[in-house]
Amino acid sequence: MATAIFSVRRGGREGGEMVDYQTQVTEGMVVLDAVHQIQAETAPDLACRWNCKAGKCGSCSAEINGKPQLMCMTRLDTIDVTQPVTIEPMRAFPPVKDLISDVSWNYEVKKRIKKFKPRPPDAEDGTWRMQQEDIDRVQEFRKCIECFLCQDVCHVLRDHVKHEEFIGPRFLVYTAALEMHPLDTENRTEELKDAFGIGYCNITKCCTKVCPEHITITDNAIIPLKERVVDEHYDPLKKLVKLFRKK
Amino acid sequence: MEYKTFEHDVLVIGAGGAGLRAAIEASAAGVSVGLICKSLLGKAHTVMAEGGMAAALANVDDRDNWKVHFSDTMRGGQYVNNWRMAELHAKEAPDRVRELEAWGAVFDRTKDGKILQRNFGGHRYPRLAHVGDRTGLELIRTLQDHGIHQGIDVHMEVTVISLLKDGDRVVGVFAYEREHGRFRVFKAKAVILATGGVGRAYKITSNSWEGTGDGHALAYHAGAELIDMEFIQFHPTGMVWPPSVRGILVTEGVRGEGGILKNNEGKRFMFDDIPDNYKDQTAKDAEEGWRYTQGDKTANRPPELLTRDHVARCINREVKAGRGSPHGGVFLDIAWIKEKLPNAAEHIKRKLPSMYHQFMQLANLDITTTPMEVGPTTHYIMGGIRVDADTQASTLPGLYAAGECASGINGANRLGGNSLSDLIVFGKRAGEYAAEFAKANGHGTIDDAQIETETKRAIEPFDRDGGENPFVIQNDLQDMMQKLVGIVRVEDEMKEALDGLKKLNERTAKSSVTGNVDFNPGWHTALDLRNLLTVSEAITRSAIERKESRGGQFRDDYPDKDPEFAKFNIAAKEVNGEMRISHVPLPEMPAELKQVIEEMG
């Protein structure tokens, strides 16, 4: 049976090194299987996050041969295993140990986004009516499994480290899901413009490319939000109207 | 040993649907709430639930109501359910689902703009509110996004090692945080267990690494009673190929949308064996079955949508008789609907997007053109901590349980879709009554001696050199349980399993882990093993005790149902360090509920 070499980042917050492990490759195996085999055979203390192993929980995000991917959905027969396969943690966040990075920043960001605020119910029994075609877009955004691969690949976060000023593609999608929810009455454009830094996104679409849920992040979420911000804050006609209203 | 202490009025262990719903409710009642997650928030096994949540909203079929849902649940559970839980569940599920919509959930819609409902096994009418085939994700995300604004203290990547007691009362937990392996003490006036299932005791399972029976074992070792542990649900359709994905769930929604099961002779074998009590609810031919899946109210459901225990056994039978698929399963075919629908491929992708994606990516198979290979996978445990139906209080003061780790609502077999609704109905109740208990009682006293013992036990694997790798022991346990206490059981094999468990316990006591305490999966597995071994013993002993076949328990040596065994639940309790099995009589069902069951036929 074939074997392959996996070069895995080992180490803690302070620093680490790539360590090579050899293990068997069998039909249908994914990268996460290889990591589990390495744990069971030689390195039981090798740290990685995983839960569902079916691409539904978004826990096992890593950089495989430099490409941000879910380990559980990356089949070994889609990558060249004749060369050592590198597995590293997501680099846009501080390393914790081995393949684990500290994603706590994402949880803090989400709390800053105003929660869902529905309009009063449509029917006497306290329920609402929505048409399927009006929620298709929101449902696309709600497919997000919060793997944070889009955050990892975003150059504003990864290279320019603007974590203080920019919430990243994941939370622009989250905000879009709220803003485009047919029942929601909240307005988040002010924050989008300022605190959430939507202007930093220059539409390189790297986030869309890595999304394992195939959410069209840039085209369907970010660009429409940018348009809203422009409409509300930079539209000359509206500015004029506002000016008169003030008087 | 140094440890940090946290104090909460109510402490919830587990952040899946039940834990989150409990935390939200307790917090809304005005008490301080801590929420412990074994993984990161939002990653719990609830995200894996696909098909939907059952609630008699009657949006699609106005004949549905709580009475039909109640009687479907009791029938599916073969009448050993806790009738009061089944009643509360059927009555309250619709409100809990509507509440999710008020918190931002976006369910698929009917033409008139209401929450759409789909067919599922054992449910008489289309009853499952859903979002494509990712309903669990919608549930957990809705609760998570609502919960983060409620002032709940979330402790992520923390694992509970034991419950702390003051006399009989549970007064907190001893735990460790994974990043640095540091011990933590959580003081709480009330503790809610919402830790999910035990699937990792088996080799082929749909459960994630977290499903190690933690809550079951924690409660058991604290002296609480477990009931119905013999009832394990083997979901009929898990993936079987390639080997690395064996066990991953293929939603029942595939069959709800018209998918059929076939053997290697191309025969639709589910028509061969229809249980008597479902005969008048089952389609007489393929045509009627198809009409049912397309919403024809005059049609009965196809036999693929019989209860999960039955479908799993039929698949097992086909495979054993040599009529299985190349990799030891049978064929699940949804592609055939192209004979019936013009845009079948698009329709399948829209209704079952994550199934399409899962098979494309993991098995290189297009479900819109090719049948899937599927076989039974360990999916769910009906058994768990014995609780009071109304309050979810366990048999220990201060300890509550909700969701999969609690028991009662499902009886011998759970209907698909009844789990997500169980989580929110009883999660809410657990939160409400735990908060009430916390308001009425002060903090108890933490016993330092207990903490010292637990600390010592927890770090022992580091002190032993040259012992076995815990991953190897876990694998051997999974192999053994799969082989000896699986879908078809006999007494001799289960007794062999008890001997095997004894040996595995001895090996665990000598196992050792390498590295340090920082985020160490090997160490974590060593700690998980205790829980896995405990629940495996409870499953095996309870299964030996139940000398009949019913729902999730099939005994080859007692293949029939025995009415004597419908009179009690089997309980497991720790007495002087040994597991004691006893019979707990089922409470008498009130006349009006008996009448409901009779009326519903």
Angstrom distance (rounded) from CA B74 to CA B83: 7
Inter-chain residue contact B363 with A128, CB threshold 8 Å: no
- Give the nearest partner residue to A132 out of B45, B109, B513, using CB atoms: B109
Residue B531's closest CA among B162, B35, B13?
B162
- The reply to whether A94 and A134 lie within a common domain is no
Q: Are B482 and B375 in contact (CB under 8 A)?
A: no
Angstrom distance (rounded) from CA B341 to CA B258: 11
**Contacts for B512 with CB less than 8 Å, ≥ 6 apart:** B461, B462, B463, B464, B465, B466, B467, B468
Give the gap in angstroms from C-alpha A135 to the nearest C-alpha of chain B: 7
Q: Is residue A246 part of a domain?
A: no
Backbone angle region of A137, left / alpha / beta, with phi > 0 → left and psi within -120 to 50 → alpha? alpha
**Contacts for A63 with CB less than 8 Å, ≥ 6 apart:** A69, A86, A87, A88, A89, A90, A91, A152
Q: Are B146 and B103 in contact (CB under 8 A)?
A: yes
**Contacts for A148 with CB less than 8 Å, ≥ 6 apart:** A58, A61, A90, A93, A103, A106, A170
- The residue count for chain A: 247
pLDDT tens digits along B484-535: 999 999 999 999 999 999 999 999 999 999 999 999 999 999 999 999 999 9
CATH code for the domain of B214: 1.20.58.100
CATH code for the domain of A48: 3.10.20.30
- The reply to whether A55 and A163 lie within a common domain is no
* B466: chain A residues, CB-CB within 8 Å: none
Is B235 labeled as catalytic in the residue annotation? yes
- The reply to whether A128 and A26 lie within a common domain is no
Sheet holding B568-575, edge to edge: B406-407, B384-386, B226-227, B568-575, B578-585
Pairing of strands B4-13, B182-193: parallel
* B39: chain A residues, CB-CB within 8 Å: 49, 51, 59
Dihedral of the alpha carbons of B489, B495, B497, B503, in degrees to the nearest 10: 180
- The reply to whether B552 and B477 lie within a common domain is yes
Angstrom distance (rounded) from CA B483 to CA B473: 15
Look at residue B465 in the predicted model and tell me its pLDDT.
87
- The reply to whether A38 and A53 lie within a common domain is yes
Look at residue A246 in the predicted model and tell me its pLDDT.
58
Angstrom distance (rounded) from CA A179 to CA A57: 24
Query: In the structure, how many helices (H) and strands (E) does chain B have?
Result: 16, 19
- ipTM of predicted complex: 0.95
Q: How many domains does chain B have?
A: 2
CB interface of A with B, residues 111-150, below 8 Å: 111, 115-116, 118, 121, 126-132, 135, 138-139, 142-143, 145-146
For helices B491-510 and B470-484, give the axis angle rounded to 10 degrees. 170
- The reply to whether B240 and B199 lie within a common domain is no
- Residues of the domain holding B550: 15-47+187-231+382-415+458-575
Stated pTM of the model: 0.96
- The reply to whether A92 and A109 lie within a common domain is no
pLDDT tens digits along B102-128: 999 999 999 999 999 999 889 999 999
Inter-chain residue contact B209 with A51, CB threshold 8 Å: yes
Question: Among A78, A101, A124, which residue terminates a domain?
Answer: A101
Beta bridge partners of A203: none
Angstrom distance (rounded) from CA A21 to CA A18: 10
Sheet holding B372-381, edge to edge: B232-239, B372-381, B330-333, B260-262
Q: Are B540 and B492 in contact (CB under 8 A)?
A: no
Active-site position among B130, B134, B200, B255: B255
Residue B345's closest CA among B360, B331, B363, B330?
B360
What is the maximum alpha-carbon separation in chain B? 70
Q: Are B312 and B235 in contact (CB under 8 A)?
A: yes
Q: Are B149 and B104 in contact (CB under 8 A)?
A: no
SS (H, E, C) A106-159: HHHHHHCCCCCCECCCCCCCCCCCCCHHHHHHHHHHCCCCCCCHHHHHCHHHHC
- The residue count for chain B: 601
pLDDT tens digits along B279-313: 999 999 999 999 999 989 999 999 999 999 999 99
The tokens for B118 are 């789909």
- The reply to whether A93 and A148 lie within a common domain is no
Angstrom distance (rounded) from CA B260 to CA B274: 15
Q: Is residue B202 part of a domain?
A: yes
Inter-chain residue contact A44 with B513, CB threshold 8 Å: yes
Give the gap in angstroms from C-alpha A87 to the nearest C-alpha of chain B: 17
**Where are the extended beta strands (E) located within B179-308?**
182-193, 226-227, 232-239, 260-262
Residue B238's closest CA among B199, B274, B271?
B199
Collect contacts of B434-437 with beta carbons under 8 A, ≥24 apart: B434/B10, B434/B22, B434/B26, B434/B190, B434/B191, B434/B192, B434/B392, B434/B400, B435/B9, B435/B10, B435/B25, B435/B26, B435/B29, B435/B30, B435/B31, B435/B190, B436/B29, B437/B189, B437/B190, B437/B393, B437/B397, B437/B398, B437/B400
Q: Are B155 and B6 in contact (CB under 8 A)?
A: yes
Angstrom distance (rounded) from CA B396 to CA B169: 6
Q: Is residue A207 part of a domain?
A: yes
Residue B2, pLDDT > 80, answer: no
Question: Among A101, A131, A155, which residue terminates a domain?
Answer: A101
- The reply to whether A87 and A115 lie within a common domain is no
Q: Is residue A44 part of a domain?
A: yes
DSSP string over B427-480: HHHHHHHHHHHHHHS------HHHHHHHHHHHHHHHH--S---HHHHHHHHHHH
Angstrom distance (rounded) from CA B25 to CA B32: 11
Compute the Cα dihedral for B515, B516, B518, B524 and give only its sign: positive
Q: How many domains does chain A have?
A: 2
Look at residue A1 in the predicted model and tell me its pLDDT.
64
Pairing of strands B384-386, B406-407: parallel
Beta bridge partners of A88: A63
Interface check A35 vs B, CB under 8 A: no
Look at residue B498 in the predicted model and tell me its pLDDT.
98
Q: Is residue B363 part of a domain?
A: yes
- The reply to whether B294 and B335 lie within a common domain is yes
- The reply to whether A155 and A87 lie within a common domain is no
SS (H, E, C) A175-234: HHHHHCCCCECCCCHHHHHCCCCHHHCCCCCHHHHHCCCCCCHHHHHHHHHHHHHHHHHC
- CA atoms lying within 13 Å on the CB side of residue B133: 22
The tokens for B364 are 């290189």
Beta bridge partners of B176: B159, B183
Q: Is residue B95 part of a domain?
A: no
Q: Are B178 and B157 in contact (CB under 8 A)?
A: yes
Angstrom distance (rounded) from CA B258 to CA A111: 42
Residue from B137, B346, B472 to probe the interface with A (highest A Cβ count within 10 Å): B137
In chain B, the residue whose alpha carbon lies closest to the alpha carbon of A70 is B361
- The reply to whether A8 and A123 lie within a common domain is no
**Contacts for B476 with CB less than 8 Å, ≥ 6 apart:** B504
- The reply to whether B399 and B481 lie within a common domain is yes
Residue B418's closest CA among B146, B2, B105, B96?
B96
- The reply to whether A135 and A214 lie within a common domain is yes
Task: Give percent of chain B above pLDDT 70.
Answer: 100
Inter-chain residue contact A97 with B179, CB threshold 8 Å: yes
Compute the Cα dihedral for A189, A193, A195, A196 and give only its sign: positive
Q: Which residue has the higher pLDDT, B465 or B75?
A: B75
- The reply to whether B391 and B304 lie within a common domain is no
Q: Are B51 and B249 in contact (CB under 8 A)?
A: no
CATH code for the domain of B327: 3.90.700.10
* B42: chain A residues, CB-CB within 8 Å: 57, 146
The tokens for B499 are 């001997």
**Which H/E stretch holds residue A49?**
none
3-class state of residue B51 by DSSP: coil
Q: Is residue A230 part of a domain?
A: yes
Q: Is residue B106 part of a domain?
A: no
**Which H/E stretch holds residue B128?**
strand B128-129
Active-site position among B124, B130, B146, B235: B235
Q: Is residue B150 part of a domain?
A: no
* Phi (first) and psi of residue B100, to 5 degrees: -60, -40
pLDDT averaged per 10 residues in sequence order, chain A, 247 residues? 93 96 94 95 95 94 97 95 97 97 98 98 95 97 98 97 97 98 97 96 97 97 96 80 67
- The reply to whether B400 and B521 lie within a common domain is yes
pLDDT tens digits along B138-191: 999 999 999 999 999 999 999 999 999 999 999 999 999 999 999 999 999 999
Q: Are B501 and B579 in contact (CB under 8 A)?
A: no
- The reply to whether B554 and B407 lie within a common domain is yes
Q: Is residue B172 part of a domain?
A: no
Q: Are A135 and A184 in contact (CB under 8 A)?
A: no
- The reply to whether A133 and A91 lie within a common domain is no
Is B443 labeled as catalytic in the residue annotation? no
3-class state of residue B252 by DSSP: coil
- The reply to whether B286 and B333 lie within a common domain is yes
- The reply to whether A15 and A125 lie within a common domain is no
- Residues of the domain holding A95: 3-101
- Give the nearest partner residue to A146 out of B42, B208, B522, using CB atoms: B42
Give the gap in angstroms from C-alpha B247 to the nearest C-alpha of chain A: 10
- The reply to whether B342 and B404 lie within a common domain is no
Q: Cα dist. B144→B14, B40, B134 in Å?
A: 12, 11, 16
- The reply to whether B252 and B226 lie within a common domain is no
Q: Is residue B240 part of a domain?
A: yes
- The reply to whether B527 and B473 lie within a common domain is yes
Tell me what the pLDDT averaged over chain B comes to: 96
Beta bridge partners of B239: B374
Q: Is residue A247 part of a domain?
A: no
Quote helix, strand, coil % in chain A, to nearest 5.
40, 15, 45
CATH code for the domain of A205: 1.10.1060.10
Q: Cα dist. A126→A129, B97, B115 in Å?
A: 10, 12, 13
**Which H/E stretch holds residue A88?**
strand A85-88
- The reply to whether B254 and B356 lie within a common domain is yes
Interface check A155 vs B, CB under 8 A: no
Q: Is residue A134 part of a domain?
A: yes
Sole residue written with tokens 């944070």: A148
Question: Among B378, B399, B427, which residue terminates a domain?
Answer: B378
Q: Over range B582-596, report the average pLDDT.
A: 96
Residue B555, pLDDT > 80, answer: yes
Q: Is residue A242 part of a domain?
A: no
Q: Is residue B510 part of a domain?
A: yes
Inter-chain residue contact B242 with A110, CB threshold 8 Å: no
Q: Is residue A69 part of a domain?
A: yes
Question: Among A101, A119, A150, which residue terminates a domain?
Answer: A101
